[in-house]
């Protein structure tokens, strides 16, 4: 697909994740939302599919380990090569391994990576295989506790075309030590704020804890920084929406991704939600460490969490 500066970039969503996490449900839901959906497409065919002028509607492409040429490195290479120009993004459907085992037990299906063994073996192997893809996903939805109906509601929030707002906003906290997150459109550095790490009573906590958030907020530069960030974003986001952009990602980083960036991400996401944007929050470093409360959440216009 060649880029045309006079036309908005076509949205192409690669839907992946461990087998049993809900990819088929997601593909069907996206098709109902107006996407042209193709499941189990070989990676090698995607560049050819996207050649030429943009199609009249967005694309949803299902990928998993059953595809004959699927590899995590191949998927990430495709994202790197085509992501910025083609509007290509990864939707990763995650799920707790125990729930995946139960789902396989209920359906009595064989796992594609362990056709002659126990499903748990294939599930564990697949999750390890997809770790790098999960870390690079643009949108991550944990389906562990979701019914198919609830998953469809989340997809409607992210990809619905009849909501009156055509662009989803995500705010990510991250650690500069681990590098910039992939796919962010703008990055803010909050390492200049007072660091809770140097307070012994706060070191083991995170920016999700009130004591840490209060400490960060007490820095005399905090209020002005938050005000400027929100002013810039509320100025920029409508212009990106007018341009036809479907997803805008904000990265907020600090040294370790545990304290300041987490607290600031919560504040920025809340401020954007209260101005009418549908916003999701993702704390990548906390998520990597398995810290409770770090799962991706979507905020409504009051700033309350809906997921």
| DSSP bridge pairs for 298 | 280
Q: What pLDDT does residue 199 have?
A: 96
Tell me: pLDDT of 229 over 90.
yes
Average pLDDT, the chain: 84
In the chain, ranges of CATH 3.40.50.300 domains: 12-159
pLDDT in tens, 147-168: 887 888 788 777 775 334 457 7
Q: Give the pLDDT band of residue 112 (cuts 50, 70, 90).
A: confident
Q: Give me the pLDDT at residue 40, please.
A: 86
Q: What is the CA radius of gyration of the chain?
A: 20
The answer for residues whose C-beta is within 8 angstroms of residue 107's C-beta and 6 or more apart is none
For helices 222-243 and 260-274, give the axis angle rounded to 10 degrees.
50
Cα dihedral sign, 170-62-36-148: negative
Query: How would CATH label the architecture of 12-159?
Result: 3-Layer(aba) Sandwich (3.40)
């Amino acid at each position: 697909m060649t880029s045309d500066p006079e036309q908005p970039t076509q949205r192409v969503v690669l839907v992946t994740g461990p087998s049993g996490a809900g990819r088929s449900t997601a593909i069907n839901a996206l098709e109902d939302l107006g996407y042209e959906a193709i499941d189990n497409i070989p990676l090698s065919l995607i560049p050819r599919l996207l050649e030429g002028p943009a199609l009249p509607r967005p694309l949803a492409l299902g990928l998993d380990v059953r595809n004959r040429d699927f590899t995590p490195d191949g998927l990430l290479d495709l994202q790197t090569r085509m992501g910025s120009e083609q509007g290509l993004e990864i939707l990763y459907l995650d799920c707790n391994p125990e729930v995946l085992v139960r789902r396989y037990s209920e359906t009595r299906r064989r796992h594609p990576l362990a056709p002659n063994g126990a499903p748990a073996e294939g599930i564990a192997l697949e999750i390890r295989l997809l770790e790098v893809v999960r870390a690079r996903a643009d949108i991550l939805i944990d389906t562990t506790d979701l019914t198919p109906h609830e998953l469809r509601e989340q997809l409607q929030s992210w990809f619905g075309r009849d909501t009156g707002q055509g662009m989803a906003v995500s705010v990510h906290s991250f650690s500069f030590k681990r590098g910039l997150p992939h796919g962010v459109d703008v990055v803010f550095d909050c390492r200049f704020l007072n660091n809770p790490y140097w307070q012994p009573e706060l070191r083991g906590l995170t920016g999700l804890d009130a004591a840490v958030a209060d400490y960060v907020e007490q820095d005399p530069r905090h209020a002005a920084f938050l005000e400027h960030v929100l002013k810039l974003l509320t100025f920029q986001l409508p212009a990106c929406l007018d341009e036809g952009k479907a997803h805008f990602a904000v990265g907020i980083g600090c040294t370790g991704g545990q304290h300041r960036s987490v607290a600031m991400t919560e504040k920025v996401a809340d401020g954007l939600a209260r101005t009418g944007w549908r916003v999701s929050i993702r704390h990548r470093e906390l998520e990597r460490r398995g810290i409770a409360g770090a799962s991706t959440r979507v905020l409504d216009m009051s700033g309350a969490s809906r997921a």
